[in-house]
Structure 1
Amino acid sequence: MIDEEIYSLEVERTPAKARLDAWLHDQFPEWSRSMIRRWIEAGAIRVDDQTTKPSHSLRVGQKVIIIPPPPSTMDLTPEPMELQILFEDEALLVLNKSPGCVVHPAAGHATGTLVHGVLHHCGGTLSGIGGVARPGVVHRLDQDTSGCLVMAKTDRAHQGLAEQFAQRSIHKQYLAIACGVPKCSEGRIDAPIARHPNNRKTMAIVDHGRHAVTDYRTLQSFGAHASYLSLNLHTGRTHQIRVHLKHLGHPVFGDEVYGSKATHRLSSAIGHSPPRQQLHAWKLGFTHPITGEPIEHVAAPPEDFQVTLESLAESSQIAVQALRP
């Protein structure tokens, strides 16, 4: 699922703690106060699109935008890489990210990321707003999620795209193969997401979590074994689709974090084990940040996704040709 690194929060009522750093620590208790202060001082946290101080007193109606900065110790030497480019101009490019590809450098992934490949393609320059290790990165996809991703070449394009993500005006449509079949053929999952209270590496449905909304529609069911779903994201929380489908009782097939038991049962039933979570960012639509023109691109699912569909279709005696979104 889209895992965006941009947070947009509005102060909806007079805060008990009016200081910006204290208020943010209440919103994100997993973030330390010292880290929040560093981000504010670095300009990664803005109030009403203005840089400010940790001691800034918040007022009702103010908007806080956060673009978490990355570690600054990564070596970003451009690396040649085969890229599936769907659209490119002077300001941005839209790619079909391959499964298994990490978007930007992080712990354990110092080289070989999409950023390294795009830097090589673009002659070593991208927008600098994302920080030293994340040039051009406006949003992310999980390592094992494939599909549409937009990257900014210029700071102006980056700012314009970041605003659209923060305002939730980006259209994001995903395809997923889920374990089992939802009772309702379509519906909305409206459930708040936060870090799991006992496992900080995963996310969970938590009462005090951040607002998260996903619409789903069943494109095809394969008996009672599995379903092919189209999903629209209205928010962009970490692991949103994966967590929401687990909450629905139908986790993504191949998701060993949120659906390992269901995945193993389905694999045994159909005689096929997917190499990764079967989740694909199929369509991405936005307004071009420079020209104002509407942009929409579709990324064809990769081979492993198609093979899984064919395995399910064969086990259910359904024509594969009927499985296009």
Structure 2
Amino acid sequence: MSELDVFTVEQSLPGQRLDRFLHSRYETSSRAEIQRLLSQGCVRVNGRPPKPAQAPRAGDLVEIRWPDVTAAEVAPQEIPLDVLFEDSDLLVLNKQPDLVVHPAAGHEDGTLVNALLHHCRGQLSGIGGVARPGIVHRLDRDTSGCLVVAKNDLSHRALQEAFATRRVEKVYQCLVCGDLQPTSGEIRARIARHPVQRKKMAVTTGDGRDARTTYRVLEQLAGAAFVEAQIHTGRTHQVRVHFLHLGFPLVGDVVYGARANARLTQETGWRAPRQMLHARRLAFRHPHSGRWCEFNAPLPSDFKEALSVFRGAEAVPAN
């Protein structure tokens, strides 16, 4: 049976399209999927089919009838998983680096989804469709750390809503190039698709999406800083783009910080195997019990090695 979501728009958003607004609320659904729902008449605003380009207004009653889900059909594969927690509703993993979350062009198998299908043996939410069963949120291929997976549709919807309404605590640890100053602060900078390189994101003063990151330096190292960052929004590449905006790209991030990393390699004689970004902590209310849950993922070996390299010179704890 199809599922109905109903909510009221809290504030008017002039200049923002309805399809983009819905995509920001349901980030695990692609914009193309949202547009498909609109074109198929699955969305109503104040009881009427809306236009994708209309702007949401305060008080609008939005109804979304999600079509029946399909069973996951991607092939199960026996890939080792580091499970931090598991019950009948969800699974929390410490995702290893160099693991793509779901199948896509160029990565048809060997993904986290393939591993989950083997591990869960049919107990995964089908809301994400055949390619993304159970997937509530994503981490980049080369980002390690905490990731939650839904094992049934009710948990999937509840977790998806928690992410959309910013009731999930997401804390990362990373290494950035240089002596990060100030040693703590807040970054508020809108993020949008890069105007030329469409696979990249960029800070913009124009039509971007609000993004907020708070951070503190845990340790100033020789040529790099060990930083803890909490993201209060969930934009694509948010940590990477925000620290680039400050002028301190992530160690190992050749997409956003190729020049800075080339200099760092010359100075240290060491090259990072990936961007040094780790989802350290994830906290949220359990979708079934309502209990507040907090999960911590230990740093992987390559991140520890990077810390050792930069601690080769005298490290300075942050004040």
Query: 1:213 corresponds to which residue?
Result: 212
Question: TM-score, with normalisation over the residues of structure 1?
Answer: 0.82
Relative distance call for 1:288 and 1:309 in structure 2 (3 A) is same
User: Following TM superposition, by how much is the alpha carbon of 1:210 offset from its aligned partner in structure 2, in angstroms?
Assistant: 0.2
Residue in 2 that maps onto 1:263:
261
| Counterpart selection for 2:163 from 165, 171, 177 | 165
Secondary structure at 1:197 match in 2: coil
Q: Which residue in the other structure is 1:155 paired with?
A: 153
Q: Match of 2:26? A: none
Deviations 1:112-147 (A, max 9, x none): 110110111111331011122101000000000000
Question: What code does the residue aligned with 2:38 have?
Answer: I
TM-score normalised by the chain length of structure 2: 0.84
Tell me if the contact between 1:40 and 1:52 (Cα under 8 Å) persists in the aligned partners. no
Name 1:252's counterpart in structure 2. 250
Q: Kindly provide the CA deviation profile for residues 134-187 of structure 1, in whole angstroms up to 9, marking residues without a partner as x.
A: 010000000000000000000000011011101101011000000002221100
Unaligned runs of 5+ in 2: 1-6, 24-29
Letter matched to residue 280 of structure 1:
H
SS in 2 for 1:247: helix
Map Cα deviations across residues 213-240 of structure 1 (whole Å, 9 max, x no partner).
00110001114x1100000010000000
The sequence identity of aligned pairs, in percent, is 48
For the residue of structure 1 that corresponds to 2:248, the secondary structure is coil
Write out per-residue CA displacement over residues 28-48 of structure 1, whole angstroms, 9 at most, x where no aligned residue: xxxx998754133568x8578
SS of equivalent to 1:176: strand
- 1:112 corresponds to: 110
Counterpart in the other structure of 2:226 = 228
Code of the residue aligned with 1:97 in structure 2: it is K
* Residue aligning to 1:296: 294
Unaligned 5+ runs, structure 1 = 1-7, 26-31
- Quick one: higher RCO (CA 8 Å, sep 6+), 1 or 2? 1
Listed one character per residue, the Cα deviations across residues 41-98 of structure 1 (whole Å, up to 9, x for unaligned) are 568x8578x99744487532448799x99xx9x9501111100000000000000000
- State the shift of 1:188 in Å: 0.4
The match for 2:12 is 13
> What is the count of residue pairs matched by the alignment?
301
Does the 8 Å CA contact 1:78/1:124 hold for their aligned counterparts? Answer: no
Residue by residue, what CA displacement relative to the aligned partner does 1:280-313 show, whole Å, maximum 9, x if unpaired? 0000001000011111111111111000000000
- Is contact 1:96–1:147 with CA below 8 Å preserved after alignment? yes
RMSD value, Cα: 3.5
